[in-house]
Amino acid sequence: MTNTTMGSLRELQGLDHRMREIRKAITGFDPLLAEVEEPALRLEDEHSKAAERLEQMRTDTRRLERNAADKRERAERLETRLNQVTNVREETAVKTELDMLSRAIEADEQEALQLMEQVRRNELHVDELAEQSTEAREDVLPKQEEYLNEREALREQLAELSARRDVILETLGTRERQVYESFHNSGREVVVAPLTEDGVCGNCFGLIPLQKQNEIRQAEALHRCEGCGVILTSEPEPEPELPEGSAPDDEGSDADGGEPADSEGP
């Protein structure tokens, strides 16, 4: 077991921790996107329902107009028949039917007029809702685009970390990789823990036997805590890799990394 291997295991653990955080952050954008889009969606839904009601009113208006037209044609036929009747009884029957048709035609026409007035009012309402929903959608777009860009940046970062993880896994031996992945896949966040100076497990704080402590410090083999099962190491926590082009923030040093120059006296 080499120091490089233990360092790789600890780096792998750090990567997995960061990847969990990023996945959680990515998931956290779903409610944010839903919240910012809610006003636009609500207006769009209201507009859609109002447009459906308007179309139904138009359909009902056309139906009433067709019914009235059919009854008028029937009334015309009855008028022709009235001129051809030969007895009072038949004349009375035709006139009664004509009277009923006239009242039905009047009722259909009145209802159609009322519906047409409702259609005109609803057309204005639908146009107003369409304008409001368009404005709401335009207001949403900047914030929505900001969230989407942030989420995409996190996804790209996650892909980079995943690629780095694959590279590290390739450097590990079969046993180390199997032990680590077995713990990781079980959902445990801590797979590698430090052996403290006091000789206890850095995860469960159980005391480690002296012989095993020496073996861990000499990195002779992979050792696991008998109490919690994590892999134990005496290596310090690996420093995170700095972004390309950046440098450690060492206070009190000049640009060349040396000691600050003493200021000259007067």
Q: What confidence tens digit (pLDDT) does each residue in 217-251 have?
A: 887 678 888 888 888 888 766 555 544 443 444 44
Identify the weakest region by mean pLDDT among 27-31, 83-87, 155-159, 198-202.
83-87
Chain CA centroid to CA 80, Å: 71
pLDDT above 60 (res 253): no
Which among 105, 110, 133, 130 has a CA at the least distance from the CA of 54?
A: 130
Running DSSP on this structure, what letter comes out for residue 173?
Answer: -
How high is the pLDDT of residue 239? 58
Name the least confident of 35-39, 57-61, 128-132, 182-186: 182-186
pTM of the model as a whole? 0.59
| Domains of the chain with CATH codes | 8-171 (1.10.287.1490), 175-233 (no CATH)
How would you classify the pairing of strands 231-233 and 223-224? antiparallel
Residue 254 has pLDDT above 60, yes or no: no
Gyration radius (Cα) of the chain, Å: 41
Look at residue 132 and give its three-state secondary structure: helix
Supply the pLDDT for residue 237. Answer: 64
Confidence at 26, pLDDT banded by 50, 70, 90: very high
Three-state SS for 233?
strand
